[in-house]
Amino acid sequence: MLKKKNRLSAQAYIDGVLNGDRMVLSRAITLVESTLVSDQQLSEEVMEAVLPYTGKSIRVGITGVPGVGKSTFIEQFGTMLVDQGHKLAVLAIDPSSPASRGSILGDKTRMEQLSSDKRAYIRPSPAGTTLGGVSARTREAMLLCEAAGFDVILIETVGVGQSETAVKGMTDFFLLLMLAGAGDELQGIKKGIIEMCDALVINKADGENLEAAKKARREYANALHLFAAKENGWNPQVKICSGLSGHGLDAIWEMVQDFAEKMKFNGFFELNRSAQRVNWMHEHIRYLLEMKFYTDPVIKQNMGEMMEKIRKGEVSAISKAKEFVDLFLHSKDQ
């Protein structure tokens, strides 16, 4: 993490981001990812200033089981978008090392072609297990990218899990990548993820796998009819593509554009974003409360003394949790 002495002034961050300076944009994202109190105060000032310049992009979340080819898909899909004249930002939420809690940061190297393309910006960020989680920091990074002039934001998640709910809550369109020929096509995927997605795309539809992909498309399309209709009137579509050859990627982008057009026409586009902004506030309240709780000196001292007894099961974890909360609230009343 950069030391405080290497931080820019708030105005330097603001000017750099709004001018599309990628070096400053990267440093601004590092700033909002920091847990230092001084950095958080600075990042709040920067975010407030750039907020009026955000919201003009189409935000697409992309998820799928490990091995589905997300990085290859995004590289080809992103290359197609920049070739069409779009300014693309990719926020790749990387798995965190269980030892260091740091990001493994492999996605940027897996997207070698796109990461070297000056028309695109790729930012790998650790999923982490620290306070705030994936949602708060990724959302701010997304807004900074929008303020820097990027009109398409792709957010790639680690895999199918809890982070998908967070990403769904900050994007306009949620795309689920799947594979064909992996047994029962609806096994191994959570029903909730299927219900959240706006499109299901079978990747690696090439070579000998093409016929299997077409068969999977029919099966998924039939299965989607069993789910309740979405409130926004959109019927989730099933597509096939090859992230390797690029076949089918243009149809996927046309589908995303069609979705955005229909949602803007019926009012659900802004309704969705409005709800997301309110949820963001509640998420940040929980984050701030959790941070204040665990950094409180009284809590740190008492929790440290009691932790071994909790580990050994000598005291009730539930009762001690209540005691810690009461202790925290009492300390704030003093």
Mean pLDDT for all residues in the chain: 85
Q: What pLDDT does 130 receive? A: 42
DSSP string, 53-85: G---SEEEEEEE-TTS-HHHHHHHHHHHHHHTT
- Which of these ranges, 25-34, 41-50, 105-114, 125-134, has the smallest mean pLDDT? 125-134
Taking the chain, what is the end-to-end CA distance rounded to the nearest angstrom?
A: 35
Q: What pLDDT does 229 receive? A: 79
Question: 97: pLDDT confidence band, cut at 50, 70 and 90?
Answer: very low
- Which of these ranges, 66-75, 101-110, 139-148, 185-194, has the smallest mean pLDDT? 101-110
> What CATH number does the domain located at 54-266 have?
3.40.50.300
Distance CA 203, CA 71 (A): 11
State pLDDT tens for residues 206-258: 998 899 999 989 988 888 877 777 899 999 999 999 998 999 999 999 999 99
Domain ranges of the chain: 1-53, 54-266, 296-333
Question: 135: pLDDT confidence band, cut at 50, 70 and 90?
Answer: low
Q: What pLDDT does 99 receive? A: 38
Distance CA 76, CA 113 (A): 9
Q: What pLDDT does 334 receive? A: 66
What is the reported pTM?
A: 0.87
The sheet carrying 152-156 orders its strands as 120-126, 88-94, 152-156, 58-64, 173-178, 199-202, 237-240
Comparing 1-53 with 54-266, is the CATH topology the same?
Answer: no
Residue with more model confidence, 125 or 36 = 36
Q: What pLDDT does 276 receive? A: 94
Q: What is the mean pLDDT of residues 281-307?
A: 88
**CATH class as words, domain 1-53:** mainly alpha
C-beta separation of 46 from 10 below 8 A: yes
Q: What pLDDT does 98 receive? A: 37
State pLDDT tens for residues 9-60: 999 999 999 999 999 999 999 999 887 888 989 999 999 999 999 999 999 9
Residue 198 has pLDDT above 70, yes or no: yes
Question: 101: pLDDT confidence band, cut at 50, 70 and 90?
Answer: very low
Question: 182: pLDDT confidence band, cut at 50, 70 and 90?
Answer: low
Q: Which tokens sit at 187? A: 């096994």
Q: What is the mean pLDDT of residues 305-310?
A: 89
- Which of these ranges, 125-129, 196-200, 279-283, 312-316, has the smallest mean pLDDT? 125-129
Of 209, 208, 207, 198, which is closest to residue 238 (Cα–Cα)? 198
Residue with more model confidence, 229 or 142 = 142
C-beta separation of 47 from 80 below 8 A: no
C-beta separation of 90 from 184 below 8 A: no
Residue 1 has pLDDT above 50, yes or no: no
State pLDDT tens for residues 252-279: 999 999 999 999 999 999 999 999 999 9
Q: How many CA atoms lie within 13 A of 209 on its CB side?
A: 16
